[in-house]
Amino acid sequence: MVRTVIFDLGGVLLDIDMQRCVDAFDALGLDTMAWLTSSPKEGEEVGGTLAEGMAASKVMDLYQTGKITTQEFLGEAWRGCKAGTTWEQVLAAWNAWVIRIPQKKLDMLKRLRRDGYKVYMLSNTNEEHWRFMEEGFFPEPVESYFDGIYMSQVLGVAKPDPNVWLKVLEDIGEKAKNCLYVDDTVVNCEAAARLGLKTCKVEPNTMWDEEIIRMHLD
């Protein structure tokens, strides 16, 4: 019986648009896709998931697993930008990636908790994006919406590495079979399912119906 729901953040609860970030940095002269993403050859190790079919570059993976600081990560971006680019422009370009968390989804999280479910967030995210979201996207303290928050930057490992889910399950003291994991990428859902979690794949950046989640709670 499912008693715990674990939500991915970007594309699931949070509306994101990576292209806005790419366009903003491209305007500053940075080769953005080369900086953010990797195109590994077959058999090569890849970084954490950024989006469907897209893996993080080495520097992006280091950042979203907390191994380098925001200053180090964005400093590399700044050095790749055209002369005269300010730190404020770099920050604005980076945060152009995140758009909003619809109120309908925030309300759903609270309803699930009122209905007796434990609700957690598990995200491949980074310090600056989380700071930006926490300051502006939650009308109430984040504790009002989640029983716990797990981020790759703190866990030190990124999805789809199975250790991500294993660390969360150990920390919350729950069995995989009692958990529903919600994500917008196939690779992450498949990784969670191999560990025994029930999974629900939703379309990214859509106002999916709450009933889609509840159908998987029986």
Q: DSSP assignment of 35-62, as one string?
A: HHEE-PPTT-----EEETTEEE-HHHHH
CB 95 within 8 A of CB 132: yes
- pLDDT at 189 > cutoff 80: yes
Region 51-72: what's the mean pLDDT? 88
115: left (phi over 0), alpha (psi -120 to 50) or beta: alpha
- Give tens-digit pLDDT for 101-157: 999 999 999 999 999 999 999 999 999 999 999 999 999 999 999 999 999 999 999
- 218 pLDDT higher than 90: no
Q: Is the pLDDT of residue 207 over 90?
A: no
Give the model's pLDDT for residue 210.
85
Token output for 203: 């379309």
Give the list of residues 6+ apart from residue 27 with CB closer than 8 angstroms, or none.
Answer: 93
The confidence score (pLDDT) of residue 178 equals 97
Report the C-alpha gap between 71 and 20 in whole angstroms.
21
pLDDT in tens, 12-48: 999 999 999 999 999 999 999 888 887 654 444 556 7
pLDDT for 51: 67
Instruction: Please list the residues that pair with 118 across neighbouring strands.
Output: 4
The pairing of strands 37-38 and 148-151 is unpaired
Distances (CA, A) of 6 to 118, 163, 172, 174, 217: 8, 15, 11, 12, 12
| Nearest CA-CA partner of 69 in 134, 126, 146 | 126
| Residue 43 region by backbone torsions, left for phi larger than 0, else alpha for psi between -120 and 50, else beta | left
Q: Do residues 100 and 138 make contact, with C-beta atoms less than 8 angstroms apart? A: no
82 alpha carbon, distance to own chain's centre? 29
Q: What is residue 22's predicted lDDT score, i.e. its pLDDT?
A: 94
95: pLDDT strictly greater than 70: yes
Residue 34 in 3-state DSSP? helix
DSSP 14: B
| Three-state DSSP class for residue 161 | coil
